Amino acid sequence: MINKAVKAIWTKKSRPKKSILRRWSIANAAFFFVAILIVAFASFRIVLSTIDKSNKQSMIQSMNNLVAPLQKSDVPLSVKNLKSYLKIDSDLEFNKNEYVIQTLPVLSNMIGQKNLSFYIYGNNKKLIFSTLDKSFPFHRDTEGKTVLINYEGSQGFLLSKAISSVKSNQIVGYALIFFNLDPFTSLAQEIFSYFVWIALVGFVTAAFFGYWMGRRFTHPISKITGSMEKVAAHPDEKFVPVEIEQEDEVGQIAKFYNSMMNRVNYYIEQQKGFVSDVSHELRTPLAVIDGHLKLLKRWGKDDPKVLEESLNISIDEISNVKLMLEEMLSISRLENLPHEYLMKKCSPLTETANALTNFKLLHKDFIVELDNKVLVSTEIQMDPSHYVQALNILLENAAKYSPDIPKSIKLTLRESGKYVEASVSDQGIGISNEDQNLIFERFYRADRARNREIGGTGLGLSILSKMIKQYQGEIKVESNLGEGSIFTFKIPKVKS
């Protein structure tokens, strides 16, 4: 039921409503488009500003060139005397509006630009000269500054100036220059339209490029997602690690994911094995107790000898079950050991003496030799009760698997760099090479043929292994069949 629920939830959510790849492509293209437009607009404004500045300077220079010869007149300017001041040899032509249309190269060279048009007015502010075949209304003096105006649909800069005679210091006329910006505006609009087209092409290009790059970047994520979907849909299948070669953040995520899933699978397998082992280990004592209780119910209770024997066997089996449950709880506590335990310290020499005293009280027929090479002042980073428990497990194991003579055990303490090592060696039945890699697993016992005879739950070494690892230590075994075993664990010293 749980698997079906997980599959149903995952199926609904396995397809994202909004694709990161699509959003990345659009965002990348939009950013490129906006960036191009901003650059285009900024460039456009800079160019216009530069052109405007250049044109204004050109207008002022042209105005000075135009006014300079006219300032020599000491009488008001008119159509008749204008020719001599402008040094024009050809005849001036009059039109119906009584102003002159000048098309000679002389004045064109003075102007310097085709977009400039010149207008000269008399004292009465009527037009007497123009470079174009149309009139231009008189404007007040702009005081030597250019202003932007609109005239008959054309936009441009206007500059006007009163013409003062250098002889009489009287105003003899007015000069006006108009710079038509329409050609520049058209050119600027055309250039800006090109920028817009470039931005649009860039938008499409950036979208495809962003999609292609995004697909490359997200492909590893798709592989991880596919692996998750597979695990969610088929949780009982063996996990296949995701292979990603790139060494970036996504590669790190893949490594962490593989590591996490391997650990999860390991714990799942351990849990399955644990449940299976517990079921197997409990089956025998429960069957024994059940058999004896049924025997007593049928007829054994009337036979004092059978009654006594059945009760004693049942009590022993219950004691074994109780011991097994206590050791299972001990393993559970070690997997979540409080931090304050890890910060405790103890003297290995003192606690070893306590462990040996307790062991000798229970096993008076064993000779225990202590070979100490640890200073009295040396301390290790371990809770005293856990250190004694670790030694007790190894000493009890040595006694359990040394049933025959000689019944001797050697305990060695020595310092090894930043660690203190404790070794327990016996002359018992030994452990095969195949079993040495498995003896620290729960419920595993090397000599299964003698399990019932030797006793125990098969949890002692598993408890010891977890305990040592919790304190950042190490444990190892050296053994040969028929030649005994040497178990060694080392615990870090207290940092000075």
Tell me what pLDDT residue 94 has.
Answer: 40
Give the pLDDT confidence of 45-59 residue by residue, as tens digits: 787 788 778 878 888
Mean pLDDT of the chain: 77
Q: Specify the higher pLDDT residue, 456 or 50.
A: 50
Q: Specify the higher pLDDT residue, 123 or 323.
A: 123
pLDDT range class, residue 21, cuts 50, 70, 90: low
Least confident of 231-235, 263-267, 280-284, 485-489: 280-284
For residues 396 and 457, is the Cβ–Cβ distance under 8 A? Answer: no
Tell me what pLDDT residue 281 has.
Answer: 64
pTM passes above 0.75: no
Tell me what pLDDT residue 16 has.
Answer: 52
Report strand pairing: 147-151 vs 116-121: unpaired
Q: Which residues of 160-199 are buried (b: 16+ CB within 10 A; e: fewer)?
A: bbebebeeeeeebbbbbbbbbbeebeeebeeeeeebeeeb
Q: Choose among 175, 169, 177, 176: nearest CA to 73.
A: 169
Give the pLDDT confidence of 219-236 residue by residue, as tens digits: 777 777 778 888 777 777
Give the pLDDT confidence of 155-182 residue by residue, as tens digits: 888 888 888 888 888 988 998 888 888 8
Tell me what pLDDT residue 412 has.
Answer: 95
Q: Choose among 321, 306, 402: nearest CA to 359.
A: 402
What is the arithmetic mean of pLDDT over 191-214? 75
Cα radius of gyration (the chain): 52
| HSE-up of residue 363 (Cα within 13 Å, Cβ side) | 20
For residues 79 and 98, is the Cβ–Cβ distance under 8 A? Answer: yes
